[in-house]
Structure 1
Amino acid sequence: MPPQQGWQQPPPGWGPPQPPGKGKAPLIVGIIAGVVLLAVAGTFGFLHLGANADGGSPKRGGTMPGVCADVPQAALAEARTTNGNPAMSKERKVADGTQTSCAWDQTKGVDGSGLRNTDAYVVVGDAAGEYERRVSQSKQNNQGTINERPLDGLGDEATAVLVDGKSAFLQLDIIVRKGDTVVEVEYTGWDSGMFGNKRPDVAEFEAAARGVAEALLAEV
């Protein structure tokens, strides 16, 4: 018997079951989560790179004056300030001797991230009065808590004055009298943390400043 006309296609509801349609909600949730993760990663990456940026300057040319030129590179590298600044350094004659100022900061690509600056002063003449004046001046700093202590093994007498503020910034002044000469090293800076500045280790900070002071004392 020939097949009946009209049954070539199954009637509605007949035939193999169709797979259920996929909802778009999981896809949307996944896209949103991915965007959020990328935003968070980008923010943390930006903060990390900013905190650890190389803040140094290109290596300068020129000659440092007087005793500044004789400070060994090793002592400057320990202080992370190998970039001498002749424009901010000078030697001048005074009535009873000489006064020399020296300035160093970081060399880009050499001294790392964070911040370090070294300023030194060498004064020959009226050492007793100059020593007391510089110690007193260091203690007048109002940017943080002042901690003062004597240092052994430097010149005839030596004092360290640490300015410890609420921020990551530290300043340490080492003042030394040796005979008729006074040497002062003013060392400042902070370290880079994961996402911001952090306070340097005080013992390492002092050791770096002391190394520069010892180098200058060896030349006077």
Structure 2
Amino acid sequence: MPPQQGWPQPQPGWGPPQPPKKNKAPLIVGIIAGVVVLVTAGVAGFLYLGANSDSGSPKRGGTMPEACANVPAAALAKARTTNGNPAMSKQRKVPDGTQTSCAWDQTNGEDGSGLRNTDAYVVVGDAAAEYERRVSQSKQNNQGTINERRLDGLGDEATVVLVDGKSAFLQLDVIVRKGDTVVEVEYTGWDSGVFGNKRPDVTEFEAAARGVAEALLADA
């Protein structure tokens, strides 16, 4: 039915009022922020798990020399090197006696992350000359600043030599003479951090090396 003449005609835009359009910016910002948080958490978790994953290799078989085999499991666990390496552990004759070398590294699943290596030498013979030779040789390391001091309560005389470099890598040698026996324990490694390796605690390092040295001296 056509509109009656004289009535106002509908104008464009007339009709019921429309609800105001919602501002979607806060929602979009919230979604983006949530995605950023999830991604950041995922990356941080990935880095943390990677940095703290177990190091080392599967447990080896084989027989270690008697002096090495006598080191108790507790001392090796404290040093986080429970994986004996028979291929690198030998006993041989030297002009004035015998020399035994022992090597341990980390067992995967037992000794944690980071890096730890324990190498030890037991020399029976001309102990006084051998002790001085090994202390001097240890101080010739050019990988960092050398810190040396005497250790009390260990053998007839004992020295600890710390090689303190600029990197996270740490080396600490404990050299002991007891009677006609000289023991040297060379302990090396670093700890894992989220964004890179970090320097281990020197006090813990020394305690671990000293524990292995004491065990090797037990029968001297």
- TM score, norm. by length of structure 1: 0.89
Report the counterpart of residue 150 of structure 2 in structure 1: 150
Number of the residue aligned with 2:169: 169
Aligned residues of 1:44 and 1:195 also touching (Cα < 8 A): no
Secondary structure at the counterpart of residue 71 of structure 1: coil
Match of 1:40?
40
| Contact 1:56–1:108 (Cα < 8 Å) also in 2 | yes
1:6, distance to aligned residue in structure 2 (A): 5.5
SS of equivalent to 2:17: coil
How far 1:18 sits from its partner (Å)?
1.5
Cα displacement (A) at 1:147: 0.5
TM-superposed deviation, 1:200: 1.6
CA shift for structure 1 position 212: 0.3
The 3-state SS of whatever aligns with 2:207 is helix
Q: Which residue of 2 aligns with 1:121?
A: 121
1:120–1:185 CA contact under 8 A, matched in 2: yes
Gaps of 5+ in 2: none
Within-5 A mapping of 1:1-220 = 5=2, 11=10, 12-220=12-220
Between the aligned partners of 2:26 and 2:216, the Cα distance in structure 1 is 69
Aligned residues: 215
Moved more, 121-130 or 24-33: 24-33
- 1:141 maps to a residue whose letter is N
Q: Secondary structure at the match of 1:76?
A: helix
Native 8 Å contact 2:156 2:177 kept in 1: yes
Q: Is the 8 A contact 1:91 1:101 kept in 2?
A: yes
* Corresponding letter in the other structure for 2:110: V
Instruction: Please report the TM-score for the alignment, with normalisation by the length of structure 2.
Output: 0.89
Distance 1:16 1:106 in 2: 78
Percent of counterpart pairs with the same letter?
85
**Letter of the 1:205 counterpart:** F
> What's the offset of the Cα at 1:46?
2.8
- Between the aligned partners of 1:63 and 1:99, the Cα distance in structure 2 is 17
Q: Which moved more, 1:173-182 or 1:26-35?
A: 26-35
Instruction: Please tell me the residue identity of whatever aligns with 1:167.
Output: S
In structure 1, stretches of 5+ residues that fail to align are: none
Contact 1:135 1:175 in 2 (8 A): yes
- 1:14 Cα offset (Å): 4.1
State the 1:27 CA deviation.
4.2
Amino acid at match of 1:91: Q
The letter of the residue matching 2:200 is P
For the residue of structure 2 that corresponds to 1:184, the secondary structure is strand
Give 3-state SS (helix, strand or coil) of 1:91's partner: strand
Offset at 1:24?
A: 4.6
Shift of 1:191: 1.8
| Residues in 1 aligned to 2:197 and 2:101: alpha-carbon distance in whole angstroms | 29
- Shift in Å at residue 30 of structure 1? 3.5
| Residue deviations 1:84-117 (CA, integer Å, cap 9, x gap) | 0111111112232111000001111111112111
